[in-house]
Amino acid sequence: MGNNATSEGEMPYEMTDNAVITTPTGWELKNGWQIADKRPVSVFVYSIPSHAAPGDVEFYLNFLKRFKTMHHPNMLRLVTGLHSEAKKKIFVVTERVRPLEHVLTQVRNQENVLSWGIYEIMTAVSFINEKGITHGNVGIQSVFVNKHGDWKLGGFEFMTEHVLAKDKSGPFFYGIRNNLIPAHIFPPEITNTNYAFSALPPHSIDSWLTGCFLYALFSKGPFHERNQLKDVNSIPASLREAYMALIIANPAKRAKIEALQGSPFFQNPFVETCLFLENIQLKDQYEKERFFMKLTKLIDELPEDYCKYKILPHLVTAMDFGSGSSVLEPLLKLAKNLNEEEFTSEVAPSVVKWFKSTDQQIRINLLENFSVFGKYLPGTMVNEQVYPSVATGFLDPNPAVRELTLKAMPAIVPKMNVNNINNHLLRCLAKLQTDVEPKIRYQTTECISQIAEFLNVDTRNKVLVPAFTRSLRDTFPASRQAGLTGFINSAAHFGIRDIATRIVPAVSFMTIDPDVEVRAKAVQALQMFVKKIEEGQRTFSASYENQNQNSGQTAELAAAAESVLGWAFQAVSSKIIGGAESGTEQTSTTSYSSSNQYQSGHSTTLPQNTSTSISQSSYSSAPSVQSQGISSSSVSQPYASVSSGNTKGGAPVGGGGAPVSGGGGAGGASGVSGGGPAGSGRRLREPKEKPKPAVKKIESNWDEDDTPPTHSFGSQRDYKESEDTKGGRKQSDWGNEDFGGGWDDPVRIRKEEGSNPIGGMRILVEGGMTQ
Q: Which domains does the chain have, with CATH numbers?
A: 3-97 (3.30.200.20), 108-166+181-265 (1.10.510.10)
In this prediction, residue 99 has a pLDDT band, given cuts at 50, 70 and 90, of: very high
Query: Looking at the predicted structure, is the pLDDT value of residue 137 above 80?
Result: yes
**Pairwise CA distance, residues 200 & 189, whole Å:** 10
Cα–Cα–Cα angle for 430, 501, 682, rounded to 5 degrees? 110
Q: What is the mean pLDDT of the chain?
A: 73
Least confident stretch, 11-20, 397-406, 493-502, 691-700:
691-700
Q: What is the pLDDT of residue 637?
A: 33
Per the DSSP assignment, residues forming a β-bridge with 84 are: 89
Burial letters 722-758, b for 16+ CB under 10 A, else e:
eebebbebbbbbbbbeebebbbbbbbbbbbbeeebbb
At residue 401, the pLDDT reads 92
* SS3 sequence of 677-744: CCCCCCCCCCCCCCCCCEECCCCCCCCCCCCCCCCCCCCCCCCCEEEECCCCEEEECCCCHHHCCCCC
Give which of 319, 402, 421, 408 is closest to 372, Cα–Cα: 408
Q: Which residues pair with 161 in a beta bridge?
A: 133
Q: Let me know the angle formed at the C-alpha of 233 by 228 and 235, rounded to the nearest 5 degrees.
A: 90
Q: Work out the average pLDDT over 394-409.
A: 93
66-95 pLDDT, tens digit per residue, is 999 999 999 999 999 999 888 889 999 999
For residues 433 and 695, give the distance between their C-alpha atoms in angstroms, rounded to a whole number. Answer: 24
Beta strands in 128-268 (DSSP E): 133-134, 143-146, 151-153, 160-161
- The more confidently predicted of residues 560 and 296 is 296
Residue 669's pLDDT is 38
Q: Which pLDDT belongs to residue 737?
A: 39
Averaged pLDDT, 677-705: 42
Q: What does DSSP assign to residue 358?
A: S
Q: Contact, 148 vs 310, CB < 8 A?
A: yes
pLDDT of 558 > 60? The answer is no
Q: In which band, very low, low, confident or very high, does the pLDDT at 665 lie, cut at 50, 70 and 90?
A: very low
- What is the pTM (predicted TM-score) of this model? 0.60
Q: How many CA atoms lie within 13 A of 322 on its CB side?
A: 4
The more confident residue out of 262 and 196 is 262
Q: Are 403 and 362 in contact (CB under 8 A)?
A: no
> How far from 42 is each of 34, 78, 162, 517, CA to CA, in Å?
10, 10, 30, 64
The pLDDT confidence band at residue 358, using thresholds 50, 70 and 90, is: confident
Whether residue 662 is predicted with pLDDT greater than 50 in this model: the reply is no
* pLDDT band with cut points at 50, 70 and 90 for residue 96: very high
C-alpha distance from residue 151 to each of 17, 74, 589 (Å): 26, 7, 84
Report the C-alpha gap between 439 and 436 in whole angstroms: 9
- Tell me if 480 sits within 8 A of 543, measured CB to CB: no
pLDDT at residue 602 in the model: 36
pLDDT of residue 446: 96
- Position 529 confidence tier, pLDDT thresholds 50, 70, 90: very high
C-alpha separations of 277 from 79, 311, 331 in Å: 24, 7, 14
pLDDT at 146 over 50: yes
Residues 344-349, mean pLDDT to the nearest whole number? 83
pLDDT at 117: 94
Q: Choose among 295, 421, 464: nearest CA to 740.
A: 421
Find the range with the poorest average confidence among 4-13, 452-461, 519-528: 4-13
The band of 46, judged by pLDDT with boundaries at 50, 70 and 90, is very high
Which pLDDT belongs to residue 605?
Answer: 35
Q: Which residues pair with 13 in a beta bridge?
A: 6, 34
The CB density around residue 301, as the number of other CB atoms within 10 Å, is 12
pLDDT at 545: 60
In 3D space, the residue among 302, 367, 310, 375 whose CA is nearest the CA of residue 336 turns out to be: 375
Asked whether residue 26 carries a pLDDT value surpassing 60, the answer given is yes
Q: What are phi and psi of 381, to 5 degrees?
A: -65, -40
**Which secondary structure element, helix H or strand E, spans residue 298, and what is its range?**
helix 285-298
- Is 144 or 711 the better-scoring residue by pLDDT? 144
Quick check: 431 pLDDT over 60? Answer: yes
Report percent pLDDT > 70 for the chain.
67
The larger pLDDT score, comparing residue 189 to residue 620, is at 189
Most distant CA pair in the chain: distance in Å?
138
The pLDDT of 580-604, averaged and rounded, is 36
Per-residue CA distances from 622 to 608, 634, 637, 639, 752 (Å):
21, 13, 10, 14, 18
Q: What is the SS3 assignment for 503-531? A: HHHHHHHHHHCCCHHHHHHHHHHHHHHHH
Confidence of residue 30 (pLDDT cuts 50, 70, 90): very high
114 vs 574: CA distance, rounded Å: 74
Residue 169 has pLDDT above 70, yes or no: yes
What digits encode the pLDDT tens for the residues 112-122? Answer: 889 999 999 99
Tell me which residue of 735, 738, 729 sits closest to 748, measured CA to CA.
Answer: 735
Mean pLDDT calculated for residue range 723-742: 41
Q: Residue 630 has what pLDDT?
A: 33
pLDDT at 711: 30
Task: Give me the mean pLDDT over the 176-199 stretch.
Answer: 78
Identify the burial level of 1 via C-beta atoms within 10 angstroms of its C-beta, where 0-12 means exposed, 13-18 middle and 19 or more buried: exposed
Is 722 in contact with 434 (CB distance < 8 Å)?
Answer: yes
Q: What is the pLDDT of residues 216-229, one digit of tens each?
A: 999 877 788 888 89
Please determine, for residue 566, whether its predicted confidence score (pLDDT) is greater than 60.
no
Concatenate the DSSP letters of all residues of 465-499 into one string.
Answer: HHHHHHHHT-SSHHHHHHHHHHHHHTGGG--HHHI
Write the CB contacts of 143 (distance below 8 Å, at least 6 apart in sequence).
99, 100, 117, 121, 151, 152, 153, 154, 213
Give the mean pLDDT of 644-668: 38
